A = this chain, B = another copy of it.
């Protein structure tokens, strides 16, 4: 019934890929390729920013921490973005938690080097600010989505987002993790997932999820999906 797929295309971070050749060449020596593991915490609120990460195929979850009991995912970051917006805006510390949702590679640069590079005001700066903007839009929209839409729709939305970022209909995510992302009970996810499976839109087992009917799932998802999906295009 289920099949694990771990194959991985070697697609680089899009922001870096968009840089002019010269700037890219000059920049590369500053970067170090790192491999990040699922569950790893890249940042905690209040923590000093040491590194900026540009995901290749790793998937990062950005989470607002309210207190011990409450935390809520506000954005999902893949190769279209980067971790460390705060540094680009002149802040010294993170305000959110960043955890690895799916293991993979990323390019990492030291905070100081990053800031210096931005001073030059080149293409990197432009890309970084541009992304910052769409990240803000994403966060704001997700906020409203979490406020208004039912768990089932939000779950569909979230699964589709992951699919798009991962580039595959198969990925791993437990109900527990999803519940933390959507800010609901684990049982709430189980129930919603159950309903989606009953309609043959998805299939899952012990953390392995498969989208079996993407088009159908899109119909169930709230319109927020469409909005967030290509938010980086319409900025």
Contact = CB atoms under 8 A, between A and B. Distances in A.
Interface of A: 64-67, 70-72, 74, 85-86, 88-91, 95-96, 119, 121, 126, 129-130, 132-133, 135-137, 139-148, 183, 223-224, 235
Contact of A130 (B65, B91, B130, B144): B91
Contacts of A136: 85, 89, 95, 132, 135-136, 139
A235 B88 CA distance: 13
Question: Which of A65, A126, A140 counts the most chain B CB atoms within 10 A?
Answer: A140
B143 A142 contact: yes
Binding site secondary structure of chain A: helix
A91 B144 CA distance: 22
A129 B70 contact: no
A64 B78 CA distance: 23
A65 B139 CA distance: 13
Given A85-B136, A142-B143, 5 more contacts: A66-B141, A66-B148, A67-B223, A89-B133, A143-B143
Contacts of A90: 126, 129-130, 133
Given A133-B89, A146-B146, A147-B72, A64 B141 contact: yes
